[in-house]
């Protein structure tokens, strides 16, 4: 047997062994090959129906000079909502947490803007482990448990028996947003779930399973991601009418259905690098009205961190989110 044949056999056996034991480096190679195909394909030009409002270094520093250091007063977000909805925005989703009270006067103002414009989704974070939650002060846990407005948006379901075949994104507790806001707006988690083996996000969970509400018999605990609620509002669908079909592995949104995998994730389609695809405007410019009229007309507006000091230390695919049913 020649040395080349022997080498081929050794390499083949090694990769079969690696695949059998699911070694991370094999998965990483597979992921990088997929990335390479996207790069070879090149950028795809689209007309996204999403505009990003960035909480960036410029906005943080400009407001600091004016006396508002981070975290910003809620008045800032109220003014932002007024500007974008007056310009014709359809939906605004905040990748920002509003779990605690601020100044009473500005909280009241922000709550009033939420009630006025209605199509607002407030994101929040997750408490992954039961032990972590039980370590909270009992008084805080009581306050958290009294606020269950987010459970109003639990999915309706068909073919529930097949749920047992999935391995979905499971957490113990969703941290509810501050109650005066939770009764005035939609709320859901903005968390991205599990990263790929190389630390890149290529998938987005369409459902999150909350252990606490199931454990206490309050709800099914099977809840939509913030982006799903935003998409439903954009399409004119009541978020309380969202349906999961576990047999077809789809989120049913009237005539628009979104496929998910065995983990309840949607794979993100890569169109190109961030700002080359999506218009991004600093939040300071928005609240000061420094944008072209019509920028937000009929758009989904995502408000989130882009500042180096604030953003999550993760690398994301830039996607035309839910591209197969929705012009994002």
Q: How confident is the model at residue 123 (pLDDT cuts 50, 70, 90)?
A: very high
Whether residue 266 is contained in a domain is answered as: yes
Residue 84 has a pLDDT of 98
Residues β-bridged to residue 91: 300
Residue 23 has a pLDDT of 52
175 and 293 housed in the same domain: yes
Residues β-bridged to residue 258: 251
Closest CA to 190 of 243, 246, 122: 122
Residues β-bridged to residue 51: 279, 301
Tell me: pLDDT of 82 over 70. yes
How many domains does the structure of the chain reveal?
A: 2
125 and 200 housed in the same domain: yes
Write down the mean pLDDT value for the chain: 85
Q: Which domain holds residue 24?
A: 3-41
Tell me: pLDDT of 216 over 70. yes
Q: What is the pLDDT of residues 10-19, one digit of tens each?
A: 556 555 555 5
Residue 203 token pair: 């998938």
35 and 61 housed in the same domain: no
Q: How confident is the model at residue 324 (pLDDT cuts 50, 70, 90)?
A: very low
16 and 75 housed in the same domain: no
Whether residue 323 is contained in a domain is answered as: no
80 and 23 housed in the same domain: no
29 and 95 housed in the same domain: no
Cα–Cα distance for residue pair 258/328, rounded to 1 Å: 13
19 and 132 housed in the same domain: no
Contact (CB, 8 A) for 206 and 243: no
299 and 252 housed in the same domain: yes
301 and 228 housed in the same domain: yes
Residue 265 has a pLDDT of 93
Cα–Cα distance for residue pair 239/153, rounded to 1 Å: 6
Cα–Cα distance for residue pair 13/6, rounded to 1 Å: 11
Whether residue 321 is contained in a domain is answered as: no
Whether residue 325 is contained in a domain is answered as: no
130 and 279 housed in the same domain: yes
154 and 270 housed in the same domain: yes
Whether residue 327 is contained in a domain is answered as: no
């Amino acid at each position: 047997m020649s040395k080349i044949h022997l080498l081929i056999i050794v390499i083949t056996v090694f990769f079969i062994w690696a695949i059998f034991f699911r070694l991370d480096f094999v998965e990483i190679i597979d992921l990088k090959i997929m990335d390479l195909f996207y790069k070879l394909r090149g950028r795809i030009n689209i007309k996204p129906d999403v505009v990003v409002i960035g909480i960036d270094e410029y906005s943080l520093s400009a407001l600091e000079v004016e006396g508002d250091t981070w975290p910003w007063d809620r008045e800032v977000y109220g003014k932002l909502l007024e500007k974008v909805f007056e310009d014709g925005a359809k939906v605004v989703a905040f990748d920002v947490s509003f779990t605690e009270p601020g100044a009473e006067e500005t909280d009241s103002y922000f709550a009033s803007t939420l009630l006025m414009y209605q199509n607002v989704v407030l994101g929040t974070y997750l408490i992954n482990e039961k032990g972590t939650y039980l370590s909270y002060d009992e008084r805080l846990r009581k306050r958290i448990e009294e606020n269950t407005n987010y459970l109003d948006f639990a999915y309706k379901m068909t073919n529930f028996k097949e749920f047992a075949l999935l391995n979905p994104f499971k957490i113990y507790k969703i941290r509810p947003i501050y109650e005066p806001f939770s009764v005035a707006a939609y709320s859901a988690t903005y968390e991205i779930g599990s990263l790929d083996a190389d630390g890149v996000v290529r998938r987005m969970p369409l459902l999150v399973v909350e252990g606490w509400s199931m454990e206490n018999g309050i709800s099914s605990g099977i809840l939509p991601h913030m982006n799903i609620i935003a998409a439903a509002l954009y399409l004119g669908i009541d978020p309380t009418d969202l349906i999961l079909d576990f047999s077809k592995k789809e989120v049913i949104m009237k005539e628009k259905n979104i496929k998910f995998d065995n983990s309840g994730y949607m794979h993100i389609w890569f169109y190109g690098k961030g700002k080359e695809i999506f218009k991004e405007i600093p939040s300071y410019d928005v609240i000061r009205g420094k944008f072209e009229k019509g920028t937000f007309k009929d758009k989904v507006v995502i408000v989130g961190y882009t500042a180096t000091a604030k953003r999550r230390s993760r690398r994301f695919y830039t996607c035309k989110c839910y591209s197969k049913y929705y012009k994002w």
